[in-house]
Chains A and B, each alone.
Chain A
């Protein structure tokens, strides 16, 4: 009798150990898969395209974007990405990288910014905006996020973003915080970062733009946030709208000091 119970305890012990190994190897193999793909991250293709677009004379005014002011002065792009979104005196509003690119494309090249903002992701000029954002983010790769909170508008944007993050609504009574408000949670095998605090280097805000392997698309932060709202069954926010920019300020300020790995690679 005694021997039997010892044997069964040993058997249960073995089972538990096997389960632990299996789970670890599943996560591990996903990590291996990502590492393998990172060697040939297709976002490099979009980087090359973006760099080309920055220098190329385009649009109704046949001008390049080389005089574009991303917050560090006209034409300065190194390190600009990790300080965005920020307040711009010329437009009188807080802008993120993608909305600022629209401003430059309108003012320098003569494109219609509203028209581009209304274009669906992955179509027409939106493809070029994403490619530009990819290249500009790559020019700040490895730098630490350092968003300004000096201007009152930037402080307001942070507070608005924070409220939006916790605002529940839609048919599922969801908020961003429902998924991203606690540590150590995941959906299937996707780890969910806690975005109410600094999630660390290269996680959350510090990982976009990114190439999504599963659908072969390059996504900027605007599209990432748009998809978050889709998953919550909210109405789509406008491209470069005050909502998505305020959210960017909240996430970006929370990520202060974390290194950007953009353009990253996602499942």
Chain B
């Protein structure tokens, strides 16, 4: 089971800045282990964010994204108390969703 994300959503004016930290190995598939065998790729492939259930962001990610990635984006029209949920899905089919309340 994947470790939880940290999501912060801060409202300023009619926008909310969302900062997300995801816990993931993000193995690129280019590295070799001690035995010289290729370490299979294992990374987040898809990220989606919703604002009160309505999708506001979808992204396709690849092996170039760092380990434990940080994502920041701005949601227009978000108010304090709104729910911001982020979901990632990795190339092994594992997925995790976390939700935060904008403040």
Q: Which residues of A contact B (CB under 8 A)?
A: 37, 39-40, 42, 44-45, 48-49, 216
Contacts and interface: CB of A to CB of B under 8 A. Distances in A.
B66 A45 contact: no
B66 A40 contact: no
A42 B21 contact: yes
Nearest to B6: A44
B103 interface: no
B12 interface: no
Given A45-B6, A48-B6, A49-B3, A40 B21 contact: yes
Interface of B: 3-6, 19, 21-23, 66-68, 70, 72
Contact of A216 (B3, B5, B22, B67): B67
Given A40-B72, A216-B66, A216-B67, A45 B23 contact: yes
B70 A42 contact: yes
A44 B21 contact: yes
A154 B3 CA distance: 38
A49 B1 CA distance: 12
The SS class assigned to the B binding surface is: loop
A40 B70 contact: yes
Nearest to A36: B70
Contacts of B6: 44-45, 48
Contacts of A48: 3-4, 6
A216 to B, nearest CB: 4
A39 B6 CA distance: 12
Contacts of A45: 3-6, 21-23, 68
Given A42-B68, A45-B5, A49-B4, 11 more contacts: A37-B70, A39-B19, A40-B21, A42-B70, A44-B21, A45-B6, A45-B21, A45-B23, A45-B68, A48-B4, A49-B3
B4 to A, nearest CB: 6
Nearest to A213: B66
A125 to B, nearest CB: 16
* Chain A CB within 10 A, most for which of B3, B5, B23, B68: B68
A39 B3 CA distance: 20
A45 to B, nearest CB: 4
Nearest to A215: B67
Nearest to B25: A216
A181 B46 CA distance: 49
A93 B4 CA distance: 36
Contacts of B23: 42, 45, 49
15 contacts: A37-B70, A39-B19, A40-B70, A42-B23, A44-B6, A45-B4, A45-B6, A45-B22, A45-B23, A45-B68, A48-B3, A48-B6, A49-B4, A49-B23, A216-B68
The 3 closest A-B pairs by CB, nearest first: A40-B70, A216-B67, A42-B68
Contacts of A44: 6, 21
Contact of A40 (B3, B4, B19, B67): B19
A37 B72 CA distance: 12
Contacts of B3: 45, 48-49
Contacts of B66: 216
A39 B72 CA distance: 10
A42 B71 CA distance: 11
B17 to A, nearest CB: 10
Contacts of A39: 19, 70
